[in-house]
Structure 1
Amino acid sequence: MSDQTTNQQQSAAAMNEPLLSVRDLRVAFGTKKEPNEVIHGINFDVFPGETVAIVGESGSGKSTTMHAVINLLPGTGRVTDGSVQWNGRELVGIGRRDMETIRGREIGLVPQDPMSNLNPVWSVGFQVEEAIRANGLAKTKKEAKARAIEVLEQAGLQDAERRMRQYPHQFSGGMKQRALIGIGLSASPQLLIADEPTSALDVTVQRVVLDHLAKLTSELGTAVVFITHDLGLAAERAEKLIVMYKGNIVESGPSKEILQRPQHPYTKRLVAAAPSLASRRIGAEATMPAAPTSTFDVAALAEAEGHGSKPGEPVIEVENLRKVYKLRKGNFGSEDFVAVDGATFTIRKGETLALVGESGSGKSTIAKMVLQLEEPSGGSVRIAGKETAGMSSSELFELRSKLQPVFQDPYGSLDPLRNIGNTIMEPLNIHNVGDRESRKQRVLELLDQVSLPRELATRYPNELSGGQRQRVAVARGLALKPEILVLDEAVSALDVLVQAQILDLLAELQRDLGLTYLFITHDLAVVRLIADRVCVMQQGKIVEQATTEEVFENPQQEYTKNLLAAIPGASIELGIVEAGDHVPHTPVAGSGSAPFAGGGQAGAQA
């Protein structure tokens, strides 16, 4: 028998053996005396070159499962039972140094949070080069820089050589995500764990990144495990789908088959909640549940709400808005970078305007200028007819009571030393609304509204999943019942079930209170559900502006057509929930009043 034949047989045998084999894995948090088991004996395999997607709602155990595989469980988390086999080698109980030789080189990780995983005091290029050197991929500084430029370009970052000199705060959320993807791919690992790798990316860059991952899979035999809430991405990119619910695998198999013909009631509920291009605006024809009766002192909010505008009147008027940043160059020089160039639009009372476009196109920069967090380089912003330039501190304070943000980053926008109850209560304290008891009651109502258990009021941000943190950010934005809400990727980190709840909530509040929304997103299926009009942005300029129907049915610009064509899974028809199906749901905690003692300090944590 020839050597070539032997090698082919060995290669075929290796392809039939799983790269990663997980058996009866159990994970718990807390002390050994009082463990809280969160993963309940799960089993799955990942084969060489295979793409697997793990889906499920926030807190279902998706990220915890894969972090347990590579021994990166946070805090008191630990594997209590089971086996994790990597290339036939047991990883449970492995030494720290042995695991460090596997992580990065053999198993790559793209973490969920692009904001807190980049060091703010180092340039992005330095951090990518550091990872390359740590994995032994470059002997000289010149080689490390060349490889860093290469992996960032592969991850879809344009003008990578110039951008490498910038710092994380100068990158948009999507650009930071691309930098992390570049780091994860730098060693060409056998397995890449991608934890929500495209949640911060616009659809066109998403397609670039996913195409690159698919190329790696086919050329290098790299296996990919996606942890995602995007069912379109799972259907289009993954061969196998694993559905998790409360720490258990409830359904697994070929992805398209499961999503087109879901069997488990929970999977059916996930599929039913997923937005698609066939969706229509959540509006008057939809039957909405009645808003809960509020025991909060509405009279005390009368001043803070400031609902002075009549329906249909312009509330936000942006004219020829321009923002120029100074980028550092060598020899202490700098160069101009135009982030927003001549943006003009108007939002009327009770209307939702969506700003869409690629990451780095200037969407979030416009939001910051509307919120008075960035000073325009040119042009004007008028809120309810008042010019914001040159406002006094008292006028700005009054403006902030009716203009509230929900930021893109649920990690960086929540104070880690303040518990959730006090975080949501903070705007009420600052604007001196109601007494302490009425504020507590308002916080509990807000937790109910965003489908969070009331018990979370005494917990801290590091104890919550990414989706739960995003819901806290939405609750805080709604605390003062503002007239205008600026939502910067407010549902991008949410699973489809919570996303549907939040979008329904926003539509209901808009209908009942006449709220006005500036909605910034890269998810065009969500735009279809929530927006009345759309502004499409490209490289700092608004290139198309029309009603949502016109943009989706008859896009004028080639750029807009490309955005629509790049939506993952747009052509895949998902299954539907049949009448009479019993669909489980995660219960919301009941009426018990949660304490808010301790002044929000981490030292008070139980």
Structure 2
Amino acid sequence: MSDQRQMNHGGAERAGDPTRPILSVRDLKVEFGVKQERREVLHGVGFDVYPGETVAIVGESGSGKSTTMHAVMNLLPGTGKVSGGSILWQGRELVGIGRRDMEHIRGREIGLVPQDPMSNLNPVWSVGFQVEEAIRSNGLASGKKAVRARAIEVLEQAGLQNAEQRMKQFPHQFSGGMKQRALIGIGLAANPQLLIADEPTSALDVTVQRVVLDHLQGLTQQLGTAVVFITHDLGLAAERAEKLIVMYQGNIVESGPSREILERPQHPYTKRLVSAAPSLASRRIGSDATVPTAPTRTFDLAALSDEPKPVVQHGEPMIEVSDLGKVYKIRKGSFGSEDFHAVAGASFTVNRGETMALVGESGSGKSTIAKMVLQLEPPTSGSVRVGGKETRNMSGRELFDLRRTLQPVFQDPYGSLDPLHNIGNTIMEPLKIHRVGDAASRKARVYELLDQVALPRELATRYPNELSGGQRQRVAVARGLALKPDILVLDEAVSALDVLVQAQILDLLAELQRELGLTYLFITHDLAVVRLIADRVCVMQQGRIVEQATTDEVFENPREEYTKNLLAAIPGAHIELGQAG
């Protein structure tokens, strides 16, 4: 506690004394709930962050990573409160601080890049307006021209190309990665002394991730800005952070120099985390892989359905994309518009029982192809055939039947779950829509699916806002599997998951594929995951497929310079993880 007494005298010395922590957390306890039903989720957490230091907090979903830093910023959700301990910011106690005082610190002195790029941008305002609003409210510029110039500057610093043009667009016109870059720009706008980055690059492709992380690193060096990463990417933690904090069930179980911990983990939990992390040295999860035994399946869709599924021969083409194109109209001044070619001339085939991965930078057209395959967007040109049937001019009934065999798992675990439906009803919804089974058998199927995606059954009565990001994504996967479809289109389906759950889901997907002959179209920017799950890879750049080959060929002998750059940008690719001591 002597550290804390010294800190009380050192608030003015922030920039000058690198030996004094700017943030000092001691014995921090946080509770959630009301009255007698309060539950402690942080059990006495303590750590220091020094000027210019980069710290990474890692741990599985629900371990308390985000809760710890939200407590620092006084941003705990409604029923959460700090029940004990101390948070000193430059010698000033933040526990119990007034709302107005905290608002002055938040943004100007402590910046935040929130985890979810989808729900943290207002859909009715242009992206540029929202960045400008943050700049005005933090007093960073005055006058319309100065504010606009600063907004363009922060978006460019965050790695957003054509920032001036993109500012006029609305969030729904941005890819997930582009929204994340806009939030990073807002978080960095005030050049804060501490930046809390909650999964700041989980929605970013590896090349943009490198641009953003290089920029953050430049900030720490030039301005003495400290950065706290909350991340599940151990490669990022190893490459970018000097200090690593490992959390498990609301406790810090190991902390110290990041490379030392990741190369020689001591705690059993850290060893599990490290061994589960995918890397470029990983191999495809195949029939010889060790996969956890799945729960016994008691729910037979075929027996409950009026129309049994047709038997498709293994290896038969399930998705055939031919010369596919998509053109969007982008508004310009004076009521004009210009064509934007999101996808141009894309062709590939995915066979029964196979996984095809679409990879590329954010905005390269991956998700647009997924939407056209799912018939959520009509193609401008070309064709999509699913199970041998052309989908372009399908009737409403034909599309409804197609949904039975073709199911999506979307990128955004926040926006794709209805906040008014509990988890059980969310997973059950496809069964109700397609009139599969009765109430009792549907409930049994929900429990079976929760088991499959490693979620406790009691979550069936909980709501999405009570779940972590990783838990929500597992619910989305469970809903996608509810009808036992032939084809799953997975759009960044594991990007929000910590490495342990990611490994479980990838093993589950591989096991279901072997057992049921499932076909996967897997959209991702995580190339290490591609190595684990995919048979073949299509590399996309600016709407075009520039390279298409088997996974081994792409990783071991990439032809295109663009593909080589993608592989070279993977964080921590050349760091040896997991030589447990």
**Equivalent in the alignment of 1:346:** 349
Report the TM-score, using the length of structure 1 for normalisation: 0.93
Q: Specify which of 223, 238, 243 is matched with residue 240 of structure 1.
A: 243
Do the aligned partners of residues 363 and 26 (structure 1) sit closer, same or farther apart at CA in structure 2, a change above 3 Å counting?
same
**Equivalent in the alignment of 2:111:** 108
Preserved contact between residue 272 and residue 577 of structure 1 (Cα < 8 Å)? no
**Equivalent in the alignment of 2:532:** 529
Do the aligned partners of residues 10 and 478 (structure 1) sit closer, same or farther apart at CA in structure 2, a change above 3 Å counting?
closer
Shift of 1:10: 6.5
Shift of 1:328: 1.3
Preserved contact between residue 363 and residue 537 of structure 1 (Cα < 8 Å)? yes
1:381 aligns with 2:396: no
Preserved contact between residue 301 and residue 480 of structure 1 (Cα < 8 Å)? no
Q: Secondary structure at the match of 2:490?
A: strand
Q: Per-residue displacement from partner, 1:208-265 (whole Å, max 9, x unpaired)?
A: 0000000000000000000000000000000000000000000000000000010000
Q: Specify which of 389, 394, 399 is matched with residue 396 of structure 1.
A: 399
Shift of 1:120: 0.3
1:90 aligns with 2:93: yes
Shift of 1:335: 1.2
Preserved contact between residue 320 and residue 385 of structure 2 (Cα < 8 Å)? yes
Preserved contact between residue 58 and residue 465 of structure 1 (Cα < 8 Å)? yes
Q: Specify which of 279, 283, 288 is matched with residue 280 of structure 1.
A: 283
The AA in structure 2 aligned to 1:62 is K
**Equivalent in the alignment of 1:517:** 520
Trace 1:283-362 onto structure 2 (pairs within 5 A): 283-300=286-303, 306-362=309-365
Q: Per-residue displacement from partner, 1:97-137 (whole Å, max 9, x unpaired)?
A: 00000000000000000000000000000000000001001
Q: Per-residue displacement from partner, 1:12-63 (whole Å, max 9, x unpaired)?
A: 8621110000001000011243311000011000000000000000000000
Preserved contact between residue 15 and residue 224 of structure 2 (Cα < 8 Å)? no
The AA in structure 1 aligned to 2:198 is D
1:203 aligns with 2:206: yes
Do the aligned partners of residues 221 and 372 (structure 1) sit closer, same or farther apart at CA in structure 2, a change above 3 Å counting?
same
Q: Per-residue displacement from partner, 1:190-222 (whole Å, max 9, x unpaired)?
A: 000000000000000000000000000000000
Shift of 1:295: 1.5
**Equivalent in the alignment of 1:411:** 414
Q: Which one is further off, 64-73 or 282-291?
A: 282-291
> 2:80, 2:393 → 1: CA distance?
51
Q: Per-residue displacement from partner, 1:76-98 (whole Å, max 9, x unpaired)?
A: 10001111000111111000000
Do the aligned partners of residues 97 and 532 (structure 1) sit closer, same or farther apart at CA in structure 2, a change above 3 Å counting?
same
**Equivalent in the alignment of 2:53:** 50
> 2:423, 2:256 → 1: CA distance?
38
Preserved contact between residue 297 and residue 438 of structure 1 (Cα < 8 Å)? no
Do the aligned partners of residues 40 and 290 (structure 1) sit closer, same or farther apart at CA in structure 2, a change above 3 Å counting?
closer
Do the aligned partners of residues 193 and 283 (structure 1) sit closer, same or farther apart at CA in structure 2, a change above 3 Å counting?
same
Shift of 1:307: 4.6
Q: Secondary structure at the match of 1:567?
A: coil
**Equivalent in the alignment of 1:139:** 142
1:506 aligns with 2:505: no
**Equivalent in the alignment of 1:487:** 490
**Equivalent in the alignment of 1:130:** 133
Q: Secondary structure at the match of 1:16?
A: coil
Q: Specify which of 25, 29, 32 is matched with residue 26 of structure 1.
A: 29
Preserved contact between residue 305 and residue 482 of structure 1 (Cα < 8 Å)? no
| Structure 1 residue ranges without an equivalent (≥5) | 1-8, 579-606
1:212 aligns with 2:228: no
Q: Per-residue displacement from partner, 1:362-408 (whole Å, max 9, x unpaired)?
A: 00000000000001111100001110011000000000000000000
1:99 aligns with 2:102: yes
Shift of 1:285: 1.8
**Equivalent in the alignment of 2:575:** 572
> 2:227, 2:15 → 1: CA distance?
19
**Equivalent in the alignment of 1:599:** none
Preserved contact between residue 22 and residue 49 of structure 2 (Cα < 8 Å)? yes
Preserved contact between residue 14 and residue 22 of structure 2 (Cα < 8 Å)? no
> 2:238, 2:308 → 1: CA distance?
43
Q: Secondary structure at the match of 1:139?
A: coil
Trace 1:149-168 onto structure 2 (pairs within 5 A): 149-168=152-171
**Equivalent in the alignment of 2:6:** none
Preserved contact between residue 174 and residue 201 of structure 1 (Cα < 8 Å)? yes
Q: Per-residue displacement from partner, 1:149-180 (whole Å, max 9, x unpaired)?
A: 11111111111111111100000000000000
Q: Secondary structure at the match of 1:181?
A: helix
The AA in structure 1 aligned to 2:220 is T
Do the aligned partners of residues 140 and 555 (structure 1) sit closer, same or farther apart at CA in structure 2, a change above 3 Å counting?
same
Q: Secondary structure at the match of 1:474?
A: helix
The AA in structure 1 aligned to 2:212 is V
The AA in structure 2 aligned to 1:26 is K
1:263 aligns with 2:266: yes
Identity across aligned pairs (percent)? 81
Preserved contact between residue 428 and residue 479 of structure 2 (Cα < 8 Å)? yes
The AA in structure 1 aligned to 2:148 is K
> 2:518, 2:13 → 1: CA distance?
64
> 1:360, 1:167 → 2: CA distance?
15
**Equivalent in the alignment of 1:559:** 562
> 1:13, 1:133 → 2: CA distance?
28
Q: Secondary structure at the match of 1:33?
A: helix
Shift of 1:303: 6.0
Q: Which one is further off, 327-336 or 438-447?
A: 327-336
Preserved contact between residue 292 and residue 507 of structure 2 (Cα < 8 Å)? no
Q: Specify which of 429, 437, 441 is matched with residue 440 of structure 2.
A: 437
Q: Secondary structure at the match of 1:486?
A: strand
> 1:117, 1:501 → 2: CA distance?
29
The AA in structure 2 aligned to 1:130 is E
Do the aligned partners of residues 11 and 197 (structure 1) sit closer, same or farther apart at CA in structure 2, a change above 3 Å counting?
closer
Shift of 1:576: 4.0
Q: Per-residue displacement from partner, 1:511-543 (whole Å, max 9, x unpaired)?
A: 000000000000000000000000000000000
Do the aligned partners of residues 92 and 393 (structure 1) sit closer, same or farther apart at CA in structure 2, a change above 3 Å counting?
same
> 2:291, 2:504 → 1: CA distance?
11
Shift of 1:306: 2.9
> 1:13, 1:330 → 2: CA distance?
49
Preserved contact between residue 305 and residue 401 of structure 1 (Cα < 8 Å)? no
Preserved contact between residue 410 and residue 492 of structure 2 (Cα < 8 Å)? yes
| Structure 2 residue ranges without an equivalent (≥5) | 1-11
> 2:40, 2:438 → 1: CA distance?
39
> 2:341, 2:226 → 1: CA distance?
39
> 2:73, 2:310 → 1: CA distance?
52
Report the TM-score, using the length of structure 2 for normalisation: 0.97
**Equivalent in the alignment of 1:471:** 474
Q: Secondary structure at the match of 2:147?
A: helix
Q: Secondary structure at the match of 1:14?
A: coil
> 1:576, 1:439 → 2: CA distance?
45
**Equivalent in the alignment of 1:583:** none
**Equivalent in the alignment of 1:602:** none
Shift of 1:296: 1.1
The AA in structure 2 aligned to 1:50 is E
Shift of 1:479: 0.3
Q: Which one is further off, 325-334 or 215-224?
A: 325-334
Trace 1:358-369 onto structure 2 (pairs within 5 A): 358-369=361-372
RMSD, matched Cα: 1.3
Preserved contact between residue 406 and residue 488 of structure 1 (Cα < 8 Å)? yes
